[in-house]
Amino acid sequence: MTDNERDTHFQNAAKLLYYKLAALKGSMPPHLNDDDWIRAEQTLIAQFAYDLARHIVWEAMGGTPNAITIIVADVPDLTEWPILHDPTQQSMWREETILATDLSECPEPE
DSSP string, 38-106: HHHHHHHHHHHHHHHHHHHHHHHH---HHHHHHHHHTSPPPSSPPPPSSTTSPPP--TT------GGGS
Mean per-residue pLDDT, 62-72: 81
pLDDT at 44: 94
* CA angle in degrees (0–180, nearest 5) for 23-98-96: 130
pLDDT tens readout for residues 3-56: 688 888 899 999 999 999 999 888 878 777 888 888 999 999 999 999 998 888
CA neighbours within 13 Å on the CB side: how many for 64? 3
| 90 touches 84 (CB < 8 A) | yes
